[in-house]
């Protein structure tokens, strides 16, 4: 029963965060969206450069091979990381960049969020032409079917 309540709360938290983040992304110009995406690319790169194998690394290298349990474990870890970030002095750009990956994973783990996650990525990709590092191929699975158009 507690696990069911926790899952419901996590779903609600992620759903509200996703909707709010979409609204935030909409008011940013394309260059700001590019900055967020490039910063998200940096986060991804730092995970991939780690020597040890982790669920985070697996998410970025072969997300389709994550089991439901692994995705849920990683989502809970990232929820805790996000909660810590929100209350920290980390700059907004870094928080937004991490939020991209967190909410993308949430939509992978909670299929009801996929529609909103697709909308988020559609809005974010309005800035891809200004990116220095992030490219459309960096959009995470299963959201990687989104195109700029």
* Residue 10 pLDDT: 87
User: What are the residues whose beta carbons fall under 8 Å from the beta carbon of 146, sequence distance 6 or more?
Assistant: 118, 121, 122, 125, 139
Interacting residues of 115 by C-beta distance below 8 A, sequence separation 6+? none
pTM beyond 0.85: the answer is yes
Q: Are 109 and 75 a contacting pair, CB within 8 Å?
A: yes
Phi, psi angles (nearest 5°) of residue 30: -60, -35
**Consecutive sets of 10 residues in the chain, 149 residues long: mean pLDDT of each?**
66 94 95 96 94 91 90 91 90 91 92 93 95 93 63
CA atoms of 92 and 87, how far apart (whole Å): 11
* Per-domain boundaries in the chain: 2-145
């Amino acid at each position: 029963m507690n696990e069911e309540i926790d899952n419901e709360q996590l779903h609600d938290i992620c759903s509200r965060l996703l909707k709010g983040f979409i609204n935030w992304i909409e008011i940013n110009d394309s260059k700001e969206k590019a900055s967020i995406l490039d910063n998200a690319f940096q986060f991804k790169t730092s995970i991939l450069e780690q020597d040890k194998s982790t669920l985070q690394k697996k998410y970025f290298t072969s997300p389709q091979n994550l089991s439901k349990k692994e995705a849920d474990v990683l989502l809970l870890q990232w929820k805790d990381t996000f909660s810590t970030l929100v209350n920290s002095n980390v700059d907004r750009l870094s928080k937004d960049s991490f939020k991209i990956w967190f909410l993308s994973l949430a939509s992978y783990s909670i299929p009801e969020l996929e529609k909103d996650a697709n909308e988020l990525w559609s809005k974010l990709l309005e800035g891809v032409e200004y990116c220095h590092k992030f490219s459309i191929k960096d959009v995470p699975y299963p959201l990687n079917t989104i195109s700029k158009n």
